[in-house]
Structure formats: C-alpha cells, structure tokens
Amino acid sequence: MASIKDPNTGEWFGGAMTEIRNKLLTRGSEDLESVGELCQTTSQFMQSAIDQCSKKCKADQTLFVKLETYGRDTKVIAKSIKGKGNDISEMTSEIQHKDAQKEDISQKMQRLTEDHSKRRELSLSQHKAYKDKMRNLNKAKQVFQDNLGLEIRKIHGGKLQFVFRNISPSDPKRVYTFLLGFKEDVTYDVVSSNPHLECLSDLESQLQETNNFSTFMANVRKEFVSLAHLEELSSQKAIALS
C-alpha cells in the first residue's frame, strides 16, 4: 500500500500507459499499412484476374462464334457433298447407260458388218451367176443368130426380147418371140411368149434346174415350129373344106 501512495507512482503509470499507447498506435499504424498493402495487392490481383477472365471470356466468345460458323459451314459443305454425291450418282448412271448404248451400238455395227459381208458375198455370187448366164446367153445367141436368124432386143425394164424367124414355112419372115428377165436372185424369169406357148412354164422350170440356156432356146424354137406346123395344117384343112 505504501507504493500506491508514492507520489511518483501516478507519473510512472501515466508514462507506462503512454508508452503502451504509442506502441499500440505504432503497431496499429504498421498493421494498417500492411492491411492497405494487402488490400492493394488483393485489388491488383482481383483486377488482373478480372482482366484475364474478361480476355478469356472474349476469347471463348470468339471461339464460340467460330464454332458456330464452322458448324454452319460444315452443314453447307455436307449439303454440297450430298448434292455432289447425287450428281456423281447420276453421272455414274448416265455413264453406265451410255456404256450400254455403246455396247448396243457396237453389237449393231458388228451385225451390220456381218450383214454387209454376207450381202457382199451374195452380190458377188449373184454377179458371177449373172455373168455366167449372160455368157450362156451370148453363146446361145451366137449359135441361133448365125444359123437361124435369131434377133435379141433390149426393151424397157432390163428385159430381153428374143425374136425368131424362119419358123413358118409359108411365112419365113413372121416373128415368134418370148420375153426374158431376171429375178432378184439372178434366176431366169420367162415373162411371156408370142404366140403363147402352153408349155412355157415347164420349159422355164427345166431351165432353172439345168441352167442350160441353149437347150432351152432349142426347145422354145421346137415348140414354135410345132405351133406353126399345127397352124399350117389348120389352114390347109380350112382351105380344103372351103
């Protein structure tokens, strides 16, 4: 108790409290500075984080826009590819169709070539047959022309008229004729005779079988001679009866 009553005690206590207060104030000031620095650092960090987030957000937005654009472009490209696929399919189908047409044309050309070859062979064969027949005609013509006064005339349509004379004893100048042509297969075609011979078709059949035109000419002349002889007999009987 004596110490409390000491007159210097109050002064000492006041000085101690002042010192403590000053220390607290100094520490508080230091703490405040530290807190300020910390706040500033935190503020700067937060601002940096906000800036980075903003940049990231803008980059992400740009990326999303690009992705949307790529998506639309992809759809357009896919649609274009699908259309081109359809075009390719149509072109392939058309090419296959043209290949089929080409094959058909090739087969037709082959058939035409074969037909042409056959027709050429047939034409050569017919030409040879025609030349042979004309050779026979010329031989027969020469024989009958030199000996029996035969005359051969070309008439309209490519036919030949064979004119015989010296058939009728009473009228040696009287003409007996038959008309000859050729069919498409170069066979003989005996069209008619004047005067008419009933056996003319039979004689033509024999000619087709034998291809001997000289014999045919001789047989025709014999028939004309027989016909002239019958006519002479008929005429003599008519005269006798009159």
Domain edges within the chain: 137-241
For range 13-42, the mean pLDDT: 77
pLDDT in tens, 153-188: 998 888 999 999 989 888 989 999 999 998 888 889
What span, in angstroms and rounded, lies between the C-alpha atoms of 193 and 176?
A: 8
**37-41, 61-65, 195-199: which is most confident:** 195-199
- Cβ neighbours of residue 235 closer than 8 Å, sequence gap 6 or more: 170
Decide if pLDDT at 3 tops 60: no
Label residue 141 by pLDDT band (50, 70, 90). low
For range 30-53, the mean pLDDT: 76
Decide if pLDDT at 123 tops 70: no
pLDDT of the residue at 205: 95
Label residue 129 by pLDDT band (50, 70, 90). low
- Cβ neighbours of residue 185 closer than 8 Å, sequence gap 6 or more: 126
> Is residue 229 within 8 Å of 156, Cβ to Cβ?
no
Q: Which residue has the tokens 């290949």?
A: 99
The full DSSP string for 35-96 is: HHHHHHHHHHHHHHHHHHHHHHHHHHHHHHHHHHHHHHHHHHHHHHHHHHHHHHHHHHHHHH
pLDDT of the residue at 210: 93
The answer regarding whether domain 137-241 maps to CATH 3.30.457.50 reads yes
- Please, is 198 exposed, middle or buried when counting C-beta atoms within 10 Å of its C-beta (0-12, 13-18, 19+)? exposed
For range 29-42, the mean pLDDT: 74
pLDDT of the residue at 89: 81
Going 132 to 138 to 139 to 141, the CA torsion angle's sign is positive
pLDDT in tens, 91-108: 888 888 888 888 888 888
Label residue 80 by pLDDT band (50, 70, 90). confident
Bridge partners (DSSP) listed for residue 238: none
For range 210-226, the mean pLDDT: 93
pLDDT of the residue at 88: 82
> Is residue 133 within 8 Å of 188, Cβ to Cβ?
yes
Q: Compare 118 and 177 and report the one with higher pLDDT.
A: 177
Decide if pLDDT at 138 tops 70: no
